[in-house]
Structure 1
Amino acid sequence: MEKIDLDGLDPDLEPVAEKAHRLARMGISALPVVGGPLMEIFNSVLESPLNRRRTETMIQIGEVINDLIEKHVLTEEDLQDNEAFISTVSEVCAISLRNHQSEKLEALRNAVKNSALPSCPSDDHRQMFLNFVDVCTVTHIKILHVFDDPQEWISSRNMTPPGWSMGAISSVLEFALPELKGHAETYTIIWKDLFQRGLLTTDGLNTTMSRDGMIAGRTTKLGAELIKFLS
């Protein structure tokens, strides 16, 4: 299967014909309809960022598909016949327009790639996971990543943990994600949300436990599956 030509998806300039058409519409709307030109400007302000975001999404998905093709994971027949992959691409396009954080967009790209693999979750789980990315915060994703394997998270980032002998999960959370230090009210709500969604095994953050307990993994089977799908 030939790779997707991504150059045509990202025009640097508005085509001359489209620009002339837009200017003509502005001129026509100036005839005696009050507010016409202002409405056109307002539409342009909104449409431009959305079109840019749509183009960026198309290019990013195209890059994912090209990567799968280069690695011989995906063929033309696979692309046509893999309903989970096609559905994921469609859903990711819609979700990407509603989100701008790089962490979410990266998770969505990974979901597209993983949906093409034999290890793709079931349709129910796949749709649940995509909905999770759409409605959750970036902090939801970060906390779930950390507590899938806190020890691996810390060591992979060359972080030196304090000499914990005993403590609470909240201490590990604030160490792994220092931007959350001093924001216990926020991350406690997010942690409880993850627990209620069945993604974490532990409800509370402040129970005192041993060091081994502090850095133990806390994701459920479903939570670990979600992290794998977004990684």
Structure 2
Amino acid sequence: MQKVDLNALDPAMESDADKLHRVARLGIGLVPVAGCPLLELFGSVLETPLNKRKTETMIQIGEIINQLIDDGVVTEKGLQENEVFVSTVAEACAISLRNHQEEKLEALRNAVRNSALPRCPADDYRQLFLNFVDVCTVTHIRLLHLFHDPELWCKNQNLTLPNWGMGGLSSVAEFALPELKGQDELYRSIWKDLYQRGLVNTGSMGGTMSRVGMLASRTTQIGAQLINFLSKQ
């Protein structure tokens, strides 16, 4: 069965970002005297990285398509006729050009893969989840994954949980994600955002509770769906 030729991938279409880049280059070129140095600087700083991101995204999506075909999950014709998959690829490509953090890019790749499967969420959920990746921070994603199942998350990270008797959700967050230590104002604000989006069922990370409460799942049904869509199944 024919698969994507990864060696032949080359961005043939000019994206909106490239159009903006081309217009900006033209404008800089019109600036007297300093125009040429500015033009060279603009090109060296932005042109190559943007093209690199676009090419890398296309290759990664090509690899996903080839893997799905190899596994017998889909066919080339089936993917071509799968409007949900095509829309997800288009949206994921656009979002990836605006982001550089690997965890967000990995979430987008997983979303593309899962959109080709029968269990793909309905359109409203799918678009909501992709928008979440676009506008959220990496800490949003980490906290959501952590508090979906704290014990399992720590086990997967080879972390041995302390023998807590009592404590709060903030203690779990700072233990599992040590980069958050001393950043309580930041992660509490992010947690509040997750709550307002309906992704977690607890409005505050404050308060004292038992060890069982500390390690209980805090994701809502839609929060769990989001995690599944952004995770490799």
5 Å-filtered alignment, 1:47-196, equals 47-196=47-196
Deviation at 1:2, TM superposition (A): 1.2
Query: Contact 2:151–2:215 at 8 Å: present in 1 too?
Result: yes
CA separation in 2, counterparts of 1:36 and 1:217?
A: 57
Deviation at 1:182, TM superposition (A): 1.0
Structure-1 residue corresponding to 2:6: 6
CA separation in 1, counterparts of 2:157 and 2:57?
A: 29
Deviation at 1:165, TM superposition (A): 1.2
CA separation in 2, counterparts of 1:142 and 1:155?
A: 15
* Aligned partner letter, 1:44: G
CA separation in 1, counterparts of 2:34 and 2:171?
A: 57
For structure 1, which segment, 71-80 or 89-98, has the greater mean C-alpha deviation from structure 2 after superposition? 71-80
Deviation at 1:37, TM superposition (A): 2.4
CA separation in 2, counterparts of 1:96 and 1:140?
A: 17
Percent of residue pairs bearing the same amino acid type: 64
CA separation in 1, counterparts of 2:52 and 2:154?
A: 36
Which SS does the other structure have where 2:147 is aligned? Answer: helix
After the TM superposition, list the runs of 4 or more consecutive aligned residues in structure 1 that deviate by more than 3 angstroms.
32-36
Structure-2 residue corresponding to 1:26: none
For structure 1, which segment, 142-151 or 155-164, has the greater mean C-alpha deviation from structure 2 after superposition? 155-164
Structure-2 residue corresponding to 1:217: 217
RMSD between superposed Cα atoms in Å: 2.1
Higher-Rg structure is 1
1:40 pairs with 2:35: no
For structure 1, which segment, 170-179 or 38-47, has the greater mean C-alpha deviation from structure 2 after superposition? 38-47
List per-residue Cα deviations over 1:67-103 (Å, max 9, x = no partner).
Answer: 1111011102211111110000000010000000000
CA separation in 2, counterparts of 1:40 and 1:82?
A: 42
Which SS does the other structure have where 2:158 is aligned? Answer: coil
Query: Contact 2:140–2:194 at 8 Å: present in 1 too?
Result: yes
Which SS does the other structure have where 1:148 is aligned? Answer: coil
CA separation in 2, counterparts of 1:158 and 1:4?
A: 37
Deviation at 1:38, TM superposition (A): 2.7
TM superposition score normalised by structure 2: 0.87
CA separation in 2, counterparts of 1:40 and 1:181?
A: 43
CA separation in 1, counterparts of 2:173 and 2:35?
A: 53
Deviation at 1:51, TM superposition (A): 0.4
* Aligned partner letter, 1:216: A
Which SS does the other structure have where 1:72 is aligned? Answer: coil
Query: Contact 2:3–2:76 at 8 Å: present in 1 too?
Result: no
**Would you say how many aligned residue pairs link Structure 1 and Structure 2?**
215
For structure 1, which segment, 36-45 or 166-175, has the greater mean C-alpha deviation from structure 2 after superposition? 36-45
Deviation at 1:215, TM superposition (A): 0.1
Give unpaired runs (5+ residues) of structure 1.
12-28
Structure-1 residue corresponding to 2:205: 205
* Aligned partner letter, 1:176: A
CA separation in 2, counterparts of 1:36 and 1:165?
A: 66
CA separation in 1, counterparts of 2:32 and 2:205?
A: 61
